[in-house]
Chain A
Amino acid sequence: MYLKKLHLRQFRNYQDQRVDFIAPKTILVGNNAQGKSNLLEAVELLATLRSHRGSRDRDLVQEADAIAQITATLERQNGISDLSLTLRRNGRRTVALNSESLRRQLDFLGVLNAVQFSSLDLELVRGGPEQRRSWIDTLLIQLEPIYAYILQQYNQVLRQRNAFLKRRQETEDRRQELEELAVWDAQLVTTGVRVIRRRSRAIERLAPIAAAWHASISGSTEVLQVKYAPNVPLEQNHPEDVQQAFLEKLEQRAVAEQHQGTTLVGPHRDEIELTINETPARSYGSQGQQRTLVLALKLAELKLIEEVVGEPPLLLLDDVLAELDPNRQNQLLEAIQDRFQTLITTTHLGSFDSQWLKASQILAVHAGKLLPQT
């Protein structure tokens, strides 16, 4: 797929900026705080309706304005699509595809696919399990857009069940509420098992691709394992069995849940283990080695999306290329070639190979404005 045009209006520090992408690689160069990451964030939003910065819509709308709009023209094998996302300081976001507004945001997902890679992604290795859950969830949304709905449902049940447990702590008569608890349990299990099964399936497909990339980048001396460690045991693969295991664990933890007034069992407590040579990656090796790991994960995402969607997704490289040593830079550039349209941000062009600089479109970013650079 190829992003041909992007138009940002009152989005972050962009007042009204159009971009035509004219080469498979576009480099956005500029000092800090000029708007490079903001532009990539706009593309990420079109792809996933999420921002890895975790921004709220009110932060995305330009200060002093009420509405921001991101529009784009995308070329895919089956034709050209116009995407439009409207963000509001106060109010719900709306989406449109080919000038037709969509009632379900779900139908907007899966039109544009993109893999985002920034220095924040080192948190995948160093950060807590919620980082890795969020990573796999974002990937899943692109692989199977319906997952956005599944996850939203689970989170809603979780919030309601937590509110129920809190309220229950304050009441005397607990017997009367057992029936309601049973229904919330059932809802948690039904929606939770869908999340668990899809996460499991995605990680199963991703793991070998990531391991292969990792072997290739590190010179096959190290073995990367990506392993799903669900909070609810997943020994069997039948949904009914997982449901049973889920219910049993809820029963085991019932007293603790009552005591703490919060849900202690379910995929919101999943972990995704990253190990190198059977050592947790967090405590393994240098920053450089951790970078290699993240790079392998990102390349695996890229390939998996391509495999599932049938077209190469976009790659958004936020400041990371310059951080890689020349060897890893080359590995990455070789892997993407011209097949994956790539948007790259950097503060300096100096660290890049002059040959592919020549083949790239270079745009200077200054205070929310883009200028072609020659």
Chain B
Amino acid sequence: MQRLPGVGPKTAQRLALHILKRSETEVQTLAQALIDAKQQVGLCSVCFHLSSESVCEICRNTNRDSNTICVVEDSRDVIALEKTREYSGKYHVLGGVISPMDGIGPEQLTIQPLVRRVSQQSIKEVILAISPSIEGETTTLYVGQLLKPFTRVTRIAFGLPVGGELEYADEVTLARALEGRRELD
């Protein structure tokens, strides 16, 4: 349990004791749900968000503005941005940020598919919503350079990072950051 993100020794113990106290059927249901999720949930072939279908719900939704793409690191960021209800365009999940120390270069991310998406469709704006860490900033600059020939590229407004990534920003902060986005220079 302690290997799960954000779970310390105390929480791990609480969770383990809780599970042991449940009935066997309950535990089996939980275990099966985890396995099902792992087996059924893959990545959307368009935006790379988690999805149980080959194209995710957001990509299929015709009420959403398909001329705008918001680029994020992770599926968690999509969920965080969806909670704000301030954004009605589409997404693109990079699957991480450029980090040579971790062996992650542009090839390890979904940057090529993004460039293809933007160059082949009529996209009016790409919003880069990547955390303001060094690696995030590098990724923003890199992706920005590649996309600029095709469309307008903006980035969301973030101040000094507080070790806080997109995921941790509260909804109000996030909505404001989205609203205050500016041209990438």
Contacts and interface: CB of A to CB of B under 8 A. Distances in A.
Nearest to B106: A180
B54 interface: no
B140 to A, nearest CB: 9
Interface of A is mostly: helix
Contacts of B99: 160
Interface stretch (A20-28, A151-159, A285-293, A345-353): A151-159
Interface in A123-174: 149, 153, 156-157, 159-161, 163-164, 166-167
B100 A156 contact: no
A183 B142 contact: yes
Contacts of B105: 164, 167, 177, 180
B163 A187 contact: no
Contact of B138 (A103, A159, A177, A184): A184
B135 A180 contact: no
Given A104-B163, A179-B145, A187 B138 contact: yes
B134 A187 contact: yes
Contacts of B142: 179-180, 183
Interface residues of A, number: 22
B101 interface: yes
B98 interface: yes
24 contacts: A103-B163, A104-B163, A153-B134, A159-B101, A160-B99, A160-B101, A163-B100, A166-B100, A167-B103, A179-B106, A179-B145, A179-B146, A180-B142, A182-B145, A183-B138, A183-B142, A183-B145, A184-B138, A186-B141, A187-B134, A187-B137, A187-B138, A187-B141, A191-B134
A105 to B, nearest CB: 9
Contacts of B146: 179
A161 B99 CA distance: 9
Nearest to B163: A103
Nearest to A106: B160
Contacts of B164: 103
Contacts of A182: 145
B162 interface: yes
Interface string B120-135: 0000000000000011
A183 B162 contact: no
A167 B100 contact: yes
B162 A164 contact: no
Contact of B134 (A104, A157, A163, A164): A157
Nearest to A165: B100
Interface of B: 98-101, 103, 105-106, 134-135, 137-138, 141-142, 145-146, 160, 162-164
Interface of B is mostly: helix
Contacts of A156: 134
A183 B100 contact: no
Nearest to A154: B134
A183 B164 CA distance: 23
B98 A149 contact: no
- By Cβ-Cβ distance, the 5 closest A-B pairs, closest first, are A163-B100, A164-B100, A163-B101, A156-B134, A183-B142
Contacts of A166: 100
Interface centre among B99, B100, B106, B141 (most CB of A within 10 A): B100
Contacts of A186: 141
B141 A183 contact: yes
A103 B168 CA distance: 12
B100 A103 contact: no
Nearest to A182: B145
Nearest to A191: B134
Nearest to A155: B134
Nearest to A171: B105
Nearest to B102: A163
A237 to B, nearest CB: 23
A242 B171 CA distance: 39
B141 A160 contact: no
A187 B136 CA distance: 11
Contact of A160 (B106, B135, B160, B162): B135
A174 to B, nearest CB: 13
Contacts of B134: 153, 156-157, 160, 187, 191
A178 to B, nearest CB: 11
A358 B52 CA distance: 79
A179 B106 CA distance: 10
Given A167-B103, A183-B141, 16 more contacts: A103-B163, A104-B160, A104-B162, A160-B100, A160-B135, A177-B105, A179-B106, A179-B142, A179-B145, A179-B146, A180-B142, A182-B145, A183-B138, A183-B145, A187-B138, A191-B134
